[in-house]
Structures are given as structure tokens and as C-alpha cells.
Amino acid sequence: MYLSNDSQTLVKIVVAGPFGVGKTTMIDALSETAPLHTEEVMTEAGALVDDLAGVEHKRTTTVAIDFGRRTLSGDLVLYLFGTPGQRRFKPLWEDVARGALGALVLVDTRRLGDSFEVIDMIEEQGLAYAVAVNVFPDTPDYPTDVLRDRLDLAEDTPLVECDARDTTSAIDALICLVSHLIANSALEATT
């Protein structure tokens, strides 16, 4: 649970994405320490603004942050910050993203349009990111090139599929992001 005193690289990573895409679920699956959550029960008052289509069993929503920690091979320690999903929290997305090295953007392809604003915010913050499609049972099967096109992703932006509930799958998505960040920094070092 505690980090050793050996030299470590500590990195802030944001897990972002629209309402109900599985951010809190993923941080639960990833964190090697008891994760911190700020969940509140959803009430009837929110029924008109928070669309539960596709996630009808969802009962709570994040109102500030999720926080967890994951050590990847050896001395690379990732501090994972999850954002709330609704656009009314946009100023908070920006605050949470500040100082991060990169972002894992979760996407639900049943509601692709909901992801655009989050991706815009990440790009405006100048953060490198990878996109992970959280697969639900009725997720439509888009060809990769169509999906990349719809999300308007740069050629080198990684796009993977994951199951946010599954630790191995969530770690694979995280490794994909970290590999992208390492490749970016190697490129910057040569230019």
C-alpha cells in the first residue's frame, strides 16, 4: 500500500469522459490503494438533464473527483484523477486536468457525440491523450477508421477498446496511454 523510498517517477494522469461512460468504474478497477470517490445519489431532479440511456442501472454520479494510484512496471507510479462527466462540471474538468502529463479519454460509442466536448477540453489544455472505447453489450461495432474519423483523432492518437470493470483490460488501456506519452517525449527530445 505504501510506496517504497526508492526513486520513483510520479505522474498525474486524468481519466476523462462524458457522463456514465465508466470513469469511476475504471479507477476502481485500476487502483492498488482504496480509491477515493465523491459519489452522490442521483435523484428525480436530475432525470431531465442526466440521460441514463444505456446505463439504466446507474444510481450515483461523481460530483468532484475520483482518485486512485497504480504502479506500472518498476518505478513508474501513476496518480489517477477521474473527472465528473456532465458538462455543467466543465470548469472542474479543466482544474482537474491541470498539471497532468496525459489523459485517458473514455468513450461510449452508443453516445459518441457526448465525447466531443471532453476531447476538445483535453486538446485545449495541450494534453497528450489516448482514447479507450468502453464496450457495453449493445455497443455498435464501428470500423476503426470510421471511429477515428468521427472523433477526428490525430494519426498518432491511440484508440483501443476496453472493459472498464476489468483490471487487466484497464491496465492495458493505461499502458497504451503511457507508451504514447513516452513516444511523444522521445520525439520532443530529438527535435
Ligand X SMILES: Nc1nc2c(ncn2[C@@H]2O[C@H](COP(=O)(O)OP(=O)(O)OP(=O)(O)O)[C@@H](O)[C@H]2O)c(=O)[nH]1
Which positions lie near ligand X, rule CB under 6 A? 17, 19-25, 55, 57-58, 61-62, 84-85, 134-137, 163-165
Set of cell numbers at residue 152: 477526428
Alpha helices in the chain (DSSP H): 23-30, 90-97, 116-124, 144-151, 167-190
- The residue nearest ligand X at its CB is 85
Instruction: Quote the CA–CA distance of 172 and 52 in Å, as a whole number.
Output: 27
- At 104 the three-state DSSP class reads strand
- At 106 the three-state DSSP class reads strand
Instruction: For Mg ion, give the closer residue by CB, 10 or 63.
Output: 63
Instruction: For ligand X, give the closer residue by CB, 78 or 106.
Output: 106
Residue 134 CB, nearest approach to ligand X (Å): 5
169 binds, among Mg ion, ligand X, none (CB under 5 to 8 A by kind): none
Q: List, edge to edge, every strand of the sheet that includes 9-16.
A: 66-72, 76-82, 9-16, 102-107, 128-134, 159-162
Residue 6 CB, nearest approach to Mg ion (Å): 33
Instruction: For ligand X, give the closer residue by CB, 85 or 102.
Output: 85
Residue 163 CB, nearest approach to ligand X (Å): 4
Residue 76 CB, nearest approach to ligand X (Å): 25
134 binds, among ligand X, Mg ion, none (CB under 5 to 8 A by kind): ligand X
Q: Which residues bind Mg ion (CB under 5 A)?
A: 23-24, 62
| Closest CA relative to residue 87, chosen from 60, 118, 56, 110 | 118
DSSP line for 164-175? TT-HHHHHHHHH
Instruction: For ligand X, give the closer residue by CB, 68 or 84.
Output: 84
Instruction: For ligand X, give the closer residue by CB, 55 or 175.
Output: 55
Residue 187 CB, nearest approach to Mg ion (Å): 33
Instruction: Quote the CA–CA distance of 71 and 50 in Å, as a whole number.
Output: 34
